[in-house]
Amino acid sequence: MNEPMPSGLIIVTGAAGLIGSQLIADLHANGCQLVGVDYCDREERAAYFDGITLEQWLHPGALNAWLDRNAKEVGAVIHMGAISDTTETDKALLDRNNVRFTLDLWERSRSHNWRFLYASSAATYGEGTQGFVDSDDLDSLAQLQPLNLYGWSKHETDVAILTEIAQGRGAPDNWAGFKFFNVYGPNEEHKGAMRSLVRKILPQIQRGEVVRLFRSHRPDYADGAQERDFIYVKDAIAPVVRALGLEKLGGLFNVGTGEARSFRDLALATFAALDAAPTIEYVDMPENIRNQYQYHTAADTAKAKAQGLYVNDYTLEQGVADYVATLTGNEDAQRLVSP
């Protein structure tokens, strides 16, 4: 990391999550003063923070009051915390945790001109019929139709922030909403059913079991050919770190590779990383998610590239190999796939 970091404390919410914990590790290694914020105790996910010293660890419910008391010490807020379960049906819960919480942090960051970087999502694009362009134009955003309440909560936050800016209420000198595509990698043990396919099938492959992928329920996609823009977490955090080092920034930015790959590709890469012969069968997709399922995502990366925020050091195969090597403790394999 060569970017100059802001002076003062850097607040990271969702600190014990996949992206948040990796950001903390990267920023800590570069001497930043960090405050972690999450609902769980740090000790619950101690493996994520081995060797990492934080200035403080806060519960989200205590954050706003703490920020008010310590406003002069804060340099930036990196807000990665959210309810990210795409099957969540409690809209009030998502409004409170994903929308209102983010907008409260936005208001404080604007008032104090703290750098404010937050997690949006590729789920805002819905089926992708409007494309996957990270536009800041409110008319363009109005055309997006997310497929689930999680996606809507992220979309409503993006629109609220850009509406306030359009109305002349101002913004921090440096702010960005990152539309993360499908991030996978170390430190997702806590995510349960929302873990990446790699993490789900690795123990199955190790046990010699058949891996099951969803059958396609659309005639234009073969079984297992449903595709996503999969991005390795080491590449996904890099744009956030780069953005943090900028004096001036503003807008929504896609965080993806720009390339769609199938779930079958991802499974085959996992088999290959374990040097195992692939055995795959296809099962029906649960009916409760069929109408909320994206069959294709691929980030438009032009805007991120123009701002120097695009990073794609790992191919799908390299990212999966590095992740599998991390999970299996194979340091030699990690060195071989490092970019």
Helix, strand and coil in the chain, % to nearest 5? 45, 15, 40
> Are the C-beta atoms of 6 and 32 separated by less than 8 Å?
no
* Residue range 194-219, pLDDT digits in tens: 899 999 999 999 999 999 999 999 99
Report the alpha-carbon distance of residue 250 to residue 10 in Å, rounded: 18
pLDDT number for residue 288: 87
Catalytic residues: 150, 191
> Are the C-beta atoms of 224 and 212 separated by less than 8 Å?
no
- Percent of the chain's residues with pLDDT above 90: 88
Give the model's confidence band at 339: pLDDT under 50 very low, under 70 low, under 90 confident, else very high: very low
pTM for this prediction = 0.94
Q: Which of 299, 202, 211, 304 is nearest to 253 (CA)?
A: 304
pLDDT number for residue 4: 74
Question: Could you tell me which residue, 8 or 44, shows the higher pLDDT?
Answer: 8
The average pLDDT across 108-129 equals 96
- Residue 26 half-sphere exposure, CB side, CA atoms within 13 Å? 23
pLDDT at 1 over 70: no
Give the model's confidence band at 338: pLDDT under 50 very low, under 70 low, under 90 confident, else very high: very low
- Percent of the chain's residues with pLDDT above 70: 96
pLDDT number for residue 5: 81
Question: Could you tell me which residue, 333 or 162, shows the higher pLDDT?
Answer: 162
The average pLDDT across 1-9 equals 75
How far is CA 241 from each of CA 9, 85, 89, 180, 309, rounded to the nearest angstrom? 15, 25, 33, 14, 9
The average pLDDT across 62-81 equals 97
Report the alpha-carbon distance of residue 169 to residue 223 in Å, rounded: 49
Domains and CATH numbers, the chain: 9-183+230-259+297-314 (3.40.50.720), 187-227+260-296+318-337 (3.90.25.10)
Report the alpha-carbon distance of residue 94 to residue 104 in Å, rounded: 14
* Residue range 250-274, pLDDT digits in tens: 999 999 999 999 999 999 999 999 9
Q: Which of 186, 198, 212, 210 is nearest to 283 (CA)?
A: 212
Q: How far apart are the first and last CA of the chain?
A: 15
Report the alpha-carbon distance of residue 312 to residue 318 in Å, rounded: 11
* Residue range 298-337, pLDDT digits in tens: 999 999 999 999 999 999 999 999 999 999 986 554 444 4
Residue with tokens 């123009």: 306
DSSP letters of 226-284? -EE-EEEHHHHHHHHHHHHT-SSB-SEEEES-S--EEHHHHHHHHHHHTT----EEEEP
The average pLDDT across 127-146 equals 96
pLDDT number for residue 3: 61
* Residue range 74-91, pLDDT digits in tens: 999 999 999 999 989 999
User: Rounded to the nearest 5 degrees, what angle is found at the Cα of 146, between the Cα atoms of 79 and 181?
Assistant: 50
pLDDT number for residue 150: 96
